[in-house]
């Protein structure tokens, strides 16, 4: 895992040698759920973090690695949980490939996302699921550059690995973001 992340960053460094590189910050709401065996509904959370857009000169493609804090989870309708909300807080690392369908204005986004659990509110008793410390998913969406500096994004993240060791559930997150590129 560490080798693949290092390899990705080496490729990004090589691409940035002949490219436009922009740093940015973004934040917005999350609408998350755990898809699986729970009788659950969408929980509202938030995300915020930094990004680096690397766009080779003259290309419609860009690569955008990000480092985000993401508050996710679900609302559960069950007698098992003391709290109706399951809260999973992650540090996520999406590696987004962007294709500008309208030059420097609108883009389609797709890529893998690596999530590292930093906190949760699940009591680790025999009846409650133990969360996994790592989450892998695929994300896709659309972005619009409103001005040279201000942008908005909408994404859907589909977890491909189990979010819990016991519950057979996967993360599903819709993210809406507003951001600023320097």
pLDDT at residue number 12: 58
The answer to whether the CB of 115 falls within 8 A of the CB of 92 is yes
27-86: pLDDT as tens digits: 999 999 988 877 788 999 999 999 999 999 889 999 999 999 999 998 887 666 555 788
pLDDT at residue number 167: 76
pLDDT at residue number 5: 65
Distance of CA 12 to the CA centre of its chain: 19
CA distances from 63 to 93, 99, 104, 158 (A): 13, 9, 14, 20
Written as six digits, the tokens of 105 are 């204005």
For the entire predicted model, the pTM comes to 0.85
CA distances from 39 to 78, 84, 85, 167 (A): 7, 11, 12, 12
pLDDT at residue number 127: 59
How high does pLDDT run on average in the chain?
88
């Amino acid at each position: 895992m560490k080798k693949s992340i290092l390899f990705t960053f080496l490729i990004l460094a090589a691409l940035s040698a002949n490219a436009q590189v922009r740093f940015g910050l973004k934040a917005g709401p999350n609408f998350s759920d755990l898809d699986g065996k729970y009788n659950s509904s969408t929980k509202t959370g938030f995300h915020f973090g930094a990004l680096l857009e690397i766009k080779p000169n003259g290309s419609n493609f860009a690569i955008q690695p990000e480092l985000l804090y993401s508050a996710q989870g679900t609302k559960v309708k069950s007698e098992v949980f003391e709290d109706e909300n399951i809260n999973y807080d992650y540090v996520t690392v999406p590696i987004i490939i962007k294709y500008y369908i309208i030059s420097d204005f609108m883009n389609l986004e797709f890529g893998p996302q690596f999530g590292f659990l930093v906190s949760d509110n699940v009591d680790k008793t025999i009846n409650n699921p133990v969360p996994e410390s790592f989450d892998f998913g695929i994300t896709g969406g659309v972005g619009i550059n409103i001005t040279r500096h201000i942008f908005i994004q909408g994404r859907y993240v589909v977890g491909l690995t189990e979010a819990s060791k016991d519950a057979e559930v996967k993360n599903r997150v819709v993210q809406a973001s507003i951001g600023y590129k320097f």
